[in-house]
Structure 1
Amino acid sequence: MLKKDFIHNGFAHLEQLLSFEEVVELRKLYNVLLEDKKLTAGLRSDLSGNSSNTETVEKITQIMLPSRIKPQLLQKQVYTKALAWAQNLLGEDMALDFDMLINKAPFTNTETPWHQDAAYWIDLPDKRSVSCWIALDDVYEENGCMWFVPRYDNQLFKHTHSKEGGALSIAIRPKDGKPVPLKAGGCTFHDGFTLHFSKGNITDGPRRALILNYRPQEMIQLEREQGMDHTGKRKFRKSK
């Protein structure tokens, strides 16, 4: 059923990818990275677009390639389990392209606007991709669970920066969006052309997520040859 949903809609979810014990272990490493700005320098940004030196709280913290900083992450079962699902969904040649952490801090109420991940990526001849978005906290509308709308084939909408340095966004607000609440350890899967969004966090707790992105090994090699390494710079691809 999960594969059928993913192929048909461009997204699907799994109630439990990780055990509670696995989630607790990931939270420990996650929090170290979240709290140490020196350790994560160069791979860290605030997707809210906040660039004010007076702001002490990052609203939407993004840390690209956490496994480059903490290689022991790659030994965690989450990477093995997510890869197995990616290969089940799109083929045995799927491999890890990049990982990232995204945290929505408590009481920041800052949405991640509707967008497609493909807008951040170079155009590739094989467009298969799947992002596994793993909840490390219980997620629901009030703290920023994921919302999706069914995929429009491989159509790429026009994206702009709603705020310089912030996340990309599209001008329209889809009316058929569907929230996907999850317990900690659950996950969603979506492809690069699937529109998605999340509300701001209005609760008193963090909303921590680990995202693992997979695509064909040959396409990863092609990306690297063209200088694409997902280091978090806010470049984007124009729609056609």
Structure 2
Amino acid sequence: MYPLDHRQKTFFEEEGYLVIEDLLSPAEVAYYSDVYTSFLENRVDASRYRSDLSGSKGKSEKITQIMVPSKVLPQLLEKPLHQKSLGIAKALMGDDIALDFDMLINKAPFTNTITPWHQDAAYWIDMPDKRAASCWVAIDPAFKENGCMWYTPKSHSQPLLPHVQTGNKGALKCEGSEANSVCVELRPGSCVFHQGGTLHYSRGNSTAQHRRALITNFRPAAMIALERQKGVDHTGEREIKAQQMPKN
């Protein structure tokens, strides 16, 4: 299990999120950057699991989401990001925690499209054991202007908010505000864990560079088995759109 101190565990439990600096080394970040570009350019074909979270009907993607990249590229499961984030998730929530799914989310340059306020649990079926955490790993620098994450502390301890879907089968959204939330800027290789009920969002990307993130999600193995029994595997058939590619 990943070594976390009592203060970190308490902060995650009480505030609903936790920043971990330098989860990945510069060399590891470079590896994931190359893999990420292969997915975005469709040299690794994940088109079945790819969509535009913005809900835009345009010809190019604004917020590219690729679900379950490790299903397409299984070697990712044994690489540092998945292994380290699993260790931290177990340290935060218990030894019965396992990987549920992973995904890539990229905000293309100059798209200025927010990811609306939401709670991840709004996407999931209701389960008796609600322990869940997502690990959001920055592959590029993440800051206000390109769409870093904002979290509302202690929101996970309140009832789930009403959510509605944005247009054209886009992301879910609910009410939230930056005024009572925390902006989490990250350098490449650093990450933030947040609970399933933690309210969060990100601004649009107004810069000339991509804002790439790789996310792993964890919950108790028994709850993952329950999901699968009910037909939930976090995949879906999707329609691919054009995408501006990162510049090397």
TM > 0.5 between the two? yes
Alpha-carbon displacement from aligned partner over 1:18-67 (angstroms, at most 9, x marks no partner): 00100100111111111118811220000000123xx2x31000000000
Structure 1 position 84 matched with structure 2 position 87: yes
Which residue number corresponds to residue 55 of structure 2? 49
Question: Normalized against structure 1, the TM-score is what?
Answer: 0.92
Alpha-carbon displacement from aligned partner over 1:51-100 (angstroms, at most 9, x marks no partner): 23xx2x31000000000111121121111100010000000100000000
Structure 1 pair 216–125 and aligned structure 2 pair: CA distance change class (3 A): same
Which residue number corresponds to residue 166 of structure 2? 162
Question: Normalized against structure 2, the TM-score is what?
Answer: 0.89
Amino acid at match of 1:24: A
Structure 1 position 22 matched with structure 2 position 25: no
Amino acid at match of 1:50: S
Q: Distance in 1 between matches of 2:91 and 2:51?
A: 32
- On the 8 A contact 2:136/2:193 being kept in 1, the answer is yes
RMSD of aligned C-alpha atoms? 1.6
Structure 1 position 113 matched with structure 2 position 116: yes
Q: Distance in 1 between matches of 2:237 and 2:126?
A: 17
Identical residues among aligned pairs (%): 52
| Count of residues in Structure 1 that have an aligned counterpart in Structure 2 | 231
The list of structure 1 runs, each at least 4 consecutive aligned residues, that deviate by more than 3 angstroms after superposition, is 171-174
Alpha-carbon displacement from aligned partner over 1:114-140 (angstroms, at most 9, x marks no partner): 000000000000000010000001110
Q: Which of these residues, 177, 180, 196, is aligned with residue 184 of structure 2? A: 180
Which residue number corresponds to residue 221 of structure 1? 225
- What are the ranges of 5 or more consecutive residues in structure 2 without an aligned counterpart? 1-6, 239-248
- What are the ranges of 5 or more consecutive residues in structure 1 without an aligned counterpart? 235-240
Which residue number corresponds to residue 46 of structure 2? 40
Alpha-carbon displacement from aligned partner over 1:186-240 (angstroms, at most 9, x marks no partner): 0000011000000001111110000000000000000000011001579xxxxxx
Secondary structure of the residue aligned to 2:179 is coil
**How far 1:172 sits from its partner (Å)?**
4.3
Alpha-carbon displacement from aligned partner over 1:120-176 (angstroms, at most 9, x marks no partner): 000000000010000001110001100000133151100001323111000343530
Amino acid at match of 2:18: A
Q: Which of these residues, 142, 147, 152, is aligned with residue 149 of structure 1? A: 152
